[in-house]
Structure 1
């Protein structure tokens, strides 16, 4: 069975490592990192060119099923996959990890966008930890009065031209103990993050709770209503059922 896996997440990585040998898989990555982790399946890098390009690629490669294992905030590719599979009749399954839920002791301000997150920091100068990836840090140019610590896999370049900025290059996962030490060492006063769900980056949320640090957290975008499972194990079971049909 020929399968396209739209990846870039820990779930996609787990999935491709455990595929049945009868599955001929292609893993597609958006290309937002210059040195993605090597995976044990055929890998393509870059976009498809919208729904039309994705439709053409699926037809050319005789794809029989698509797994959307993209990041919870990768809304566009999810919409493209849903539209393409509806048009072509190709089976589609999405891996939708549950969002984090507020727990006792969490000091959350929930917002819809990065622009709202920047406003939520307030006027008073604060030491801010941005852990949102590099593509949206520019939203915080509207709040240049703060001291920013930005952690990202890739350099952010000149995307955040503010007077006080420290960059940390790192790739997760990050556990709670490491995050607690990091927040304390950097004297972080407020954390900005996306509600990405899953265990890989939850350590910062638990650390902020333990240290009493407030969190501005961006809600995930709405995704298309398609068949879904919460994890890689569910996707593996779905594929196995299709193999046995």
Structure 2
């Protein structure tokens, strides 16, 4: 089965959905969309670092994503105006990453694959890395679920319960950086934030509890992956963007169904 590149692509996309589903729910609840963008865009700088030093691309991506996520988290804790700060950091990181890649001598890598993903080129090693990271992220969020949810709902309530909101923000920061490193190969730096937000936003129209929303986001992400791959094969469209397009269609459809139910 794993010799089939379509099967590997499908398993890779589902693995990413396992990580982005529950994390995406917290991204929406905490209004961290720009946070995800900044961390994902910084991944390109990590790619340049890895190519220049001979490190695995996943390792370079993870290091820089962690650095960016920690920086953003620290600024958020100091009360900075985050819209402007994140906008500057996000686009500056992407620009510096693309410039840095151009200085790598003898580069024979398609940078576009890192921007938009290349899910059809996922190999067995990539698949192992994706699922290892996905299980780690899902396990981390499951372990800290109650504390994360309390800190998200009300920081004063979290303090009263003996929970440090800053520590829980750091947990989300680490999870987000790991998701960026895992998802870069599949959907690329420019679409990672969409994979976090769109399935979770679609799941919100179905779910009545936080746990149900997280699980539904995983299912919708997996369905978008399979649908996007089918569209890509049928119409010869880019696979990564096709996955996000199908996720957006699912979101629009579920939103329409929810609106009809409210009118009924």
TM range (shorter): under 0.3
Please state which structure has a larger fraction of its residues in helix. Answer: 2
Larger Rg: 1
Q: TM-score, normalised by structure 2?
A: 0.23
